[in-house]
Amino acid sequence: MQDRQAQVSQVVVTARQMRDVEGRIFAARMPVAALMEKVAGLIALRVQQVEGSRVGILVGPGHNGGDALVVARELYFRGYVVWLYSPFSQLKELTSQHLQYAQSLGIPCYHDVEQLPDCDFLIDGLFGFGLERPITDHIALAINQLNQWKQPILSIDIPSGIHTDTGEVLGTAIRATHTFCLGLWKLAFLQDQALEYIGKAELIDFDIPWADVEAVLGDTPRIKRITPGTVKLTLPLPRPPVTHKYKEGHLLLICGSRRYAGGAILTALGARASGVGMLSIAVPESLKPLLVSHLPEALIIGCPETETGAIAHLQLPQKTDMSSFNAIACGPGLTLDATPIFPEVISSEVSLVLDADGLNILAQMGTIPTLKKRQALTVLTPHTGEFQRLFPDIADPKQDRVKAVQEAAVQSGAVVLLKGARTAIANAQGAIWINPESTPALARGGSGDVLTGLIGGLLAQAATKEIPVEDIVATGAWWHSQAGILAAQERTELGVDAFTLTQYLMKVISQLPTLGWG
């Protein structure tokens, strides 16, 4: 069994699931006030590591406000100068009691945000996961004003105004510099649209019994954060001592055109970094010398080309057919002129990754429904634009990326990876993996091609192992973004071009012990 910390770091819950978990704890007779005391005590300890001693505390009507008041009281007793902003007249009972006690201690309390004296930082306890409707009127105005202030804002549980599941802004929202997520990771922390409000995210673990989490999640498809622990189970390491190149996977890449020659190189370098045993690359004939010069170890298959320099049809070497490969990755740089090769690619009985023009051709041909008939696994790796072309009837993925990718996987029967700041992966059964850490340094042409090659290489190597394909795709996404993070640390966010990224993939693996691998 995994240790508790590893379990907690992986799990992601919706507001409803969090409420059910809490409900079980309270039903087992843990007093609500005692839990609030415990949780807020942990927050107060964490806050004491922050620089500054003059603190403004924003108090909402529910238990998020109650948490904030306990923090206020603890900081007051530790010698901090504390001021409260409490604009609501109706408070939940426990919150109301904490407010009365804080006031009895002489902690000043204001109803108007402008009355708050100048402080070193603010603590946001306006709303937590109980926010159910858009914030309006004077509270909305106050939040907009607070967002203009220069002080750091530390949000309790979630920035007030952010929807706990979709991450959307409900009316308006606090722009936090730091957010302490309580107990279990909530879904909003993994939704792109919430990231600029959350700031730096940190989990405060308050010992929720794992049995309660299991009981609530039950058999429903899980939403999981990808962690080094996940990756460890999937990476093709260590290699068995006795093996040979074909046992370590044979990947066929189908990519490139005269117009987009570089895409083929980047895809191939991503595949190379995966450690795949044998790499074959089908490109238009005229690109063969270029590919050979960059990847001397690969078998370059020059294919007849169209007038525009796209692959006209696949011409595999003698005695080779699609079933000679353990996986195929197809798409980067093909152009739509390569459309005629598609029926053969789709009908192959080999694990298939489709990206870039592979997805655009699929969208144009309207062949999503035929994917379900494939005899082998399919992985689709769209960015938002490709996603919308492929799945036009799924609601805007920017509004709820996790729901969108889940629907796409069900619709297509494929494993779908929706690229973004928090890349999300879904399988046809509705299970989700989300990459919790990345860097905007990757927002750069060609970095997606590297990912395609990397995932293709991992799939080929896993061909004879019983590893769920979504775990392999998750490992690829994690590895790719960790390489971006490492490269950005050494070279700044501006120094991570796609070629450089390929050079950092190996470094990530060699540094795994320091990333919590052990």
Pick from 415, 423, 501: nearest CA to 459? 415
For K ion, the closer of residues 71 and 379 by Cβ is 71
Q: Rounded to the nearest whole angstrom, what is the least distance from the CB of residue 459 to ligand ADP in the complex?
A: 16
Pick from 328, 319, 316: nearest CA to 250? 328
Task: Give the up-direction half-sphere exposure of residue 505: CA atoms within 13 A in the CB hemisphere.
Answer: 30
For ligand ADP, the closer of residues 312 and 356 by Cβ is 356
Binds 475, which of K ion, ligand NAX, ligand ADP, none (CB < 5 to 8 A, cut-off by type)?
none
373's CB contacts (< 8 A; 6+ apart) are none
In the three-class reduction of DSSP (H, G, I as helix; E, B as strand; rest coil), residue 12 is classed as strand
Q: Rounded to the nearest whole angstrom, what is the least distance from the CB of residue 157 to ligand ADP in the complex?
A: 24
Q: Helices in 165-252 by DSSP H: which ranges? A: 195-198, 210-217, 228-232
For ligand ADP, the closer of residues 294 and 480 by Cβ is 480
Distance of alpha carbon 408 from alpha carbon 107, whole angstroms:
53
CA distances from 513 to 216, 474, 517 (A): 33, 19, 5
11, 156, 425, 428: which one contacts ligand NAX (CB under 6 A)? 156
Distance of alpha carbon 150 from alpha carbon 145, whole angstroms:
11
Task: For residue 316, give the DSSP letter.
Answer: P
The phi and psi torsions of 290 (rounded to 5 degrees) equal: -65, -45
For K ion, the closer of residues 132 and 321 by Cβ is 132
For ligand NAX, the closer of residues 133 and 150 by Cβ is 133
Is 238 annotated in a binding site? The answer is no
Is 337 annotated in a binding site? The answer is no
102, 122, 135, 327: which one contacts ligand NAX (CB under 6 A)? 135
CA angle in degrees (0–180, nearest 5) for 153-182-434: 95
Site for K ion in 159-188 (CB under 5 A): 160
Task: For residue 428, give the DSSP letter.
Answer: T
Which residues would be at the binding site for ligand ADP (CB under 6 A)? 356, 383, 419-421, 423, 438-440, 442-443, 445-449, 451, 480
The phi and psi torsions of 452 (rounded to 5 degrees) equal: -60, -45
165 near ligand NAX, rule: CB under 6 A: no
At 32, list the tokens.
């609500």
Is 333 annotated in a binding site? The answer is yes
Distance of alpha carbon 194 from alpha carbon 161, whole angstroms:
10
For ligand NAX, the closer of residues 88 and 499 by Cβ is 88
Q: Which stretch binds ligand NAX (CB under 6 A): 1-9, 124-132, 246-254, 368-376?
A: 124-132
Binds 135, which of ligand NAX, K ion, ligand ADP, none (CB < 5 to 8 A, cut-off by type)?
ligand NAX
Specify whether the CB–CB gap between 332 and 357 falls below 8 A: yes
Binds 451, which of ligand NAX, K ion, ligand ADP, none (CB < 5 to 8 A, cut-off by type)?
ligand ADP
**C-beta neighbour count of 410 within 10 angstroms:** 16
Specify whether the CB–CB gap between 171 and 134 falls below 8 A: yes
Q: Rounded to the nearest whole angstrom, what is the least distance from the CB of residue 226 to ligand NAX in the complex?
A: 25
Q: Which stretch binds K ion (CB under 5 A): 1-9, 63-71, 195-203, 334-342?
A: 63-71
Q: Helices in 242-333 by DSSP H: which ranges? A: 261-273, 288-294
Distance of alpha carbon 95 from alpha carbon 90, whole angstroms:
10
Is 64 annotated in a binding site? The answer is yes
Q: Rounded to the nearest whole angstrom, what is the least distance from the CB of residue 496 to ligand ADP in the complex?
A: 10
13, 35, 368, 417: which one contacts ligand NAX (CB under 6 A)? 35
Specify whether the CB–CB gap between 301 and 283 falls below 8 A: yes
**Residues contacting K ion: total by CB under 5 A:** 5
Edge-to-edge strands, sheet with 121-125: 109-110, 81-85, 54-59, 121-125, 153-156, 178-182, 200-204
335 near ligand NAX, rule: CB under 6 A: no
Q: Which residue is nearest to ligand NAX (CB)?
A: 128
For ligand NAX, the closer of residues 201 and 341 by Cβ is 201
207 near ligand NAX, rule: CB under 6 A: no
Q: Rounded to the nearest whole angstrom, what is the least distance from the CB of residue 461 to ligand NAX in the complex?
A: 42
Site for ligand NAX in 61-90 (CB under 6 A): 61-65, 67
Q: Rounded to the nearest whole angstrom, what is the least distance from the CB of residue 101 to ligand ADP in the complex?
A: 44
**Which spans of this chain sit near ligand NAX (rule: CB under 6 A)?**
22, 32, 35-36, 39, 60-65, 67, 92, 127-135, 156-157, 182-183
Q: Write out the binding residues for AMP.
A: 419-423, 448
Q: Write out the binding residues.
A: 63-67, 124, 128-134, 157, 160, 333, 383, 419-423, 448-449
Q: Write out the binding residues for (6S)-NADPHX.
A: 63-67, 128-134, 157, 333, 383, 449
**Which spans of this chain sit near K ion (rule: CB under 5 A)?**
64, 124, 155-156, 160
